[in-house]
Amino acid sequence: MEEFHKIKRLPPYVFEQVNRLKAKARAAGADIIDLGMGNPDLPTPKHIVDKLTEVVQDPRTHRYSASKGIQGLRKAQAAYYGRRFGVKLDPDTQVIATLGSKEGFANMAQAISAPGDVILSPNPSYPIHTFGFLMAGASIRNVPAEPGPAFFDALERAVIHSVPKPIAIILCYPANPTAYCADLEFYRDVVAFARKHNIFILSDLAYSEVYFGETPPPSVLQVPGAMDVTVEFTSLSKTFSMPGWRMGFAVGNERLVSALARVKSYLDYGAFTPIQVAATAALNGPEDCIVETRDVYRKRRDVVVDSFSRAGWDVPAPEASMFCWAPIPEKFRSLGSLEYSKLLLERADVAVAPGIGFGEHGDDYVRIGLVENEQRLRQAARNIRRFLETADQKLHNVIPLETSG
| pLDDT tens figures, 85-112 | 999 999 999 999 999 999 999 999 999 9
Distance CA(218)–CA(86), nearest Å, equals 10
Under DSSP, is residue 352 helix (H, G, I), strand (E, B) or coil?
Answer: coil
Share of residues in the chain with pLDDT > 90 (%)? 87
pLDDT, average across residues 116-144: 94
pLDDT, average across residues 187-200: 98
Which of the residue ranges 238-242, 264-268, 293-297 would you say has the lowest mean pLDDT? 264-268
Give me the numbers of helices (H) and strands (E) for the chain, helices first please.
Answer: 14, 12
According to DSSP, residue 359 is labeled -
Q: Which helix (H) or strand (E) holds 323?
A: strand 323-327
- State residue 391's pLDDT score: 83
Contacts of 374 (CB under 8 A, 6+ apart): 299, 300, 303
| pLDDT tens figures, 284-311 | 999 999 999 999 999 999 999 999 999 9
pLDDT, average across residues 128-156: 95
Binning pLDDT at 50, 70 and 90, where does residue 402 land? low
Under DSSP, is residue 396 helix (H, G, I), strand (E, B) or coil?
Answer: coil
Binning pLDDT at 50, 70 and 90, where does residue 397 land? very low
- State residue 404's pLDDT score: 46
Q: Residues of 4-41 as b/e, b for ≥16 C-beta within 10 angstroms? A: eeeeebeeeebbeebeebbeebeeeeeebbbbbbbebe
pLDDT, average across residues 125-135: 93
DSSP-assigned letters across all residues of 234-278: EEHHHHTT-GGG--EEEEE-HHHHHHHHHHHHHH---S-HHHHHH
Binning pLDDT at 50, 70 and 90, where does residue 395 land? low
Share of residues in the chain with pLDDT > 70 (%)? 97
232 φ/ψ angles, rounded to the nearest 5 degrees: -120, 140
281 φ/ψ angles, rounded to the nearest 5 degrees: -65, -35
Q: Which of 144, 33, 141 is nearest to 369 (CA)?
A: 33
pLDDT, average across residues 196-211: 97
In order of 61, 182, 278, 354, the CA distances from 72 in angstroms are: 14, 31, 11, 40
- State residue 405's pLDDT score: 41
Distance CA(297)–CA(320), nearest Å, equals 9
pLDDT, average across residues 13-18: 80
Binning pLDDT at 50, 70 and 90, where does residue 7 land? confident
Report yes or no: 125 and 145 within 8 Å, Cβ to Cβ: yes
Burial of 317 (0-12, 13-18, 19+ CB in 10 A): middle
Binning pLDDT at 50, 70 and 90, where does residue 400 land? low
137 φ/ψ angles, rounded to the nearest 5 degrees: 95, 0
Distance CA(48)–CA(395), nearest Å, equals 50
The sign one gets for the Cα dihedral 151, 314, 126, 15 is positive
Q: Which of 8, 12, 4, 9 is nearest to 354 (CA)?
A: 12
| pLDDT tens figures, 58-73 | 999 999 998 899 999 9
Binning pLDDT at 50, 70 and 90, where does residue 401 land? low
Q: What would you report as the CA-atom Rg of the chain, rounded to the nearest whole angstrom?
A: 22
Contacts of 234 (CB under 8 A, 6+ apart): 77, 101, 205, 206, 208, 248, 249, 251
Residue 173 has pLDDT above 60, yes or no: yes
pLDDT, average across residues 122-138: 93
Report yes or no: 330 and 320 within 8 Å, Cβ to Cβ: no
Report yes or no: 324 and 370 within 8 Å, Cβ to Cβ: yes
Under DSSP, is residue 386 helix (H, G, I), strand (E, B) or coil?
Answer: helix
Report yes or no: 21 and 345 within 8 Å, Cβ to Cβ: yes
Distance CA(58)–CA(277), nearest Å, equals 12
Distance CA(313)–CA(366), nearest Å, equals 12
